Amino acid sequence: MPRQKLRSFKIVQTTWNLKPLFTSDNDPRMKKKRNVVERKANEFINTWKDRSDYLEDPLVLCQALDQYEAWKRHYGTDGDEGYYFWLRTQQDQNNAKLKAGFNKVEDFSKKLENASQFFHLRIARIKPELHKTFLEHRALAGYRHFLERIFAESRYHLSEPEEKILNLKAATSYSNWTKMTSGFLSKEERTVMTEEGRRKTKPFSELAGLMSSKSKRVRDSAATAFNDILRKHAEVAEAELNSVLAHKKIDDELRGTSRPDELRHLADDIESEVVDTLVDSVAKRFAIPARYYRFKAKLHGVRKIEYHERNVEYGEVAKRYSYSRAVDVVHTALGKLDREFADIFDGFITNGQIDAYPKKGKDSGAFCIHHLMVQPTYILLNHTGKLHDVLTIAHELGHGINNELIKQKRHALDFGTPTSTAEVASTFMEDFVLDEILHAADDELRFAVMMQKLNDDVSSIFRQAACYRFEQELHHEFRQKGYLSKEIIGMLFQKHMAAYMGGAVEQSKGSENWWVYWNHIRYFFYVYSYASGLLISKSLQNAVKKDPSFIIKVKEFLSTGLSDSPKNTFAKLGIDIGNRQFWDKGIDEVERLLNETEQLAKKLGKIRK
């Protein structure tokens, strides 16, 4: 009989239930299941490896893709075993037996991967004059975008022997260089002032964290050490970065691209014009971060913040949330948006798909992971009760909900999200949960939380757009001049940092070398995706706040997976993301938060007038 109904479920399971995969690390079914994976893979490989009719006849290609899809959906190259051991190593990183188990499956999987690679490569070599016939054939309609993606990339492929040479030379002309610089940096350590007021030797990797300390002595001491290390290696980094830029230029020339960021956009399934509009729209509103830093300087009672202390926190968020309280908050916020969101969350909890608490040996971060389409999604958390932990639940759950919505509507070859929109669902849920928390908070807590949120938004949106423009100019200048000295690189760097930070942040002495440790400029142009994900999310939030029924369109977007490009997907929903207005709506949300935070600061008497 129904008793008092407080919640629709009870949290009984706070560790992963991996039984849908295996019952234990020694489950006797492992070997049997692996044999099935091998058999299924070989069935596919042996059916198609010596045939070429599927490259000419759309109906035969459809047959091949159906078989390929079914294999990828149920078995892939490592089945349940690969997923199981990977998950187990995240729970227990120091367990050598688990690592060995994982490595063994990896080896097995690599062999099947190599043996089946021919399929993709040959589709990519379908003659361009046949592309249209294949893409427009009715039987292949479900695989249209999958084929479009392969064909689009194949335009830049070189001949097989040329690709082979590029591959073999990639380490010596590119990755060894970048590893060298990061290797030098990671070996550095310096004696600095710590929070406890004592001097202690700290490795390079810990200095960045110390620069956000509430104590100015600690921040400044860490910055002095940090700058000293970068100065020491700037000369080497100059030679390294020039090689990296030259390597990229040669690649682009051989492949015939028209701009340095073209292949990035292609890989991310986003049109260059969309990225251009995004970066432009953000840059046109650099007045917002400049105003934020002015406000922050005022709060800290200084005229200017130094470059290294721009992330220093203001206020204290002391409130604590037990795991079950946190789950309640997230559940409530999701339920208000859409019943199905809350139901998916219920399922994750009751089925044991969330590993909630920190444990010895467990991975220290947070993630949401999926593998084969038929396997459960798993979420790893390290809940300690901080407000940030509540937002992390919302974030990872956003990824999880995204997965489940895609599973309902798409096939295995479209199961996934393009990089450009991968963080939309996560930040969407995160922001709505934050609203729920702010709603119930007192003014002091609200103020501290809003300041943190602003800092995050400024870093993810405006800073990344500035970084993107710095990268663009680096490649452009290198291609014009042939070589860039460390002084020139530093000047370009400071120019782009000052552009979004405005006058209230000092481009302090030493900060001209901060490009030395920036990894992302060595991996080319992906930083825009932080801004695109968050701004698409904010633009959608803006629409839902105006009209709650818009959530239906949000769900449609979230269930697209890889079945179409973001631009086409939005176009079907009546939204043009090639238009500035779309991005401006997202940016408006940040400006609104800044306005509210400034007003609250006045109300609380933190700043005058």
| Contacts with Zn ion, residue ranges (CB under 5 A) | 426
Pick between residue 54 and residue 428 the one whose CB is nearest to Zn ion: 428
Q: How far is the CB of 431 from Zn ion (least distance, A)?
A: 13
Task: Give bridge partners of residue 379 from the DSSP assignment.
Answer: 354, 368
Pick between residue 62 and residue 433 the one whose CB is nearest to Zn ion: 433
Pick between residue 77 and residue 417 the one whose CB is nearest to Zn ion: 417
Q: How far is the CB of 554 from Zn ion (least distance, A)?
A: 17
Q: How far is the CB of 423 from Zn ion (least distance, A)?
A: 5
Pick between residue 406 and residue 492 the one whose CB is nearest to Zn ion: 406
**Residue 135 phi/psi, 5° resolution?**
-70, -30
Measured between alpha carbons, how far is 14 from 79 in angstroms, rounded to an integer? 25
Pick between residue 137 and residue 386 the one whose CB is nearest to Zn ion: 386
- Is residue 65 within 8 Å of 140, Cβ to Cβ? yes
- Rounded to a whole number of angstroms, the CA Rg of the chain reads 26
Pick between residue 227 and residue 426 the one whose CB is nearest to Zn ion: 426
- Is residue 510 within 8 Å of 495, Cβ to Cβ? no
- Is residue 49 within 8 Å of 22, Cβ to Cβ? no
Write the DSSP assignment of 471-540 as a string of letters: HHHHHHHHHHHS---HHHHHHHHHHHHHHHH-TTEE--TTGGGGGGG-SGGGT-S-THHHHHHHHHHHHH
Q: How far is the CB of 113 from Zn ion (least distance, A)?
A: 26
Task: Give bridge partners of residue 200 from the DSSP assignment.
Answer: 192
Q: How far is the CB of 399 from Zn ion (least distance, A)?
A: 6
Q: How far is the CB of 533 from Zn ion (least distance, A)?
A: 8
Nearest to 174 by CA among 266, 250, 65: 250
Measured between alpha carbons, how far is 524 from 248 in angstroms, rounded to an integer? 9
Pick between residue 297 and residue 406 the one whose CB is nearest to Zn ion: 406
- Is residue 380 within 8 Å of 367, Cβ to Cβ? yes
| Burial label, 459 (beta-carbon count in 10 A; 0-12, 13-18, 19+) | middle
Pick between residue 47 and residue 559 the one whose CB is nearest to Zn ion: 559
Pick between residue 48 and residue 341 the one whose CB is nearest to Zn ion: 341
- Is residue 223 within 8 Å of 211, Cβ to Cβ? yes
Nearest to 467 by CA among 506, 424, 515, 507: 515
Q: How far is the CB of 422 from Zn ion (least distance, A)?
A: 7
Residue nearest to Zn ion (CB): 426
159 Cα distance to chain centroid: 32
Q: How far is the CB of 398 from Zn ion (least distance, A)?
A: 7
Residue partners of 582: CB distance under 8 A and separation at least 6: 539, 570, 575, 576
Measured between alpha carbons, how far is 599 from 609 in angstroms, rounded to an integer? 10
Pick between residue 64 and residue 562 the one whose CB is nearest to Zn ion: 562
Q: How far is the CB of 534 from Zn ion (least distance, A)?
A: 11
Q: How far is the CB of 463 from Zn ion (least distance, A)?
A: 18
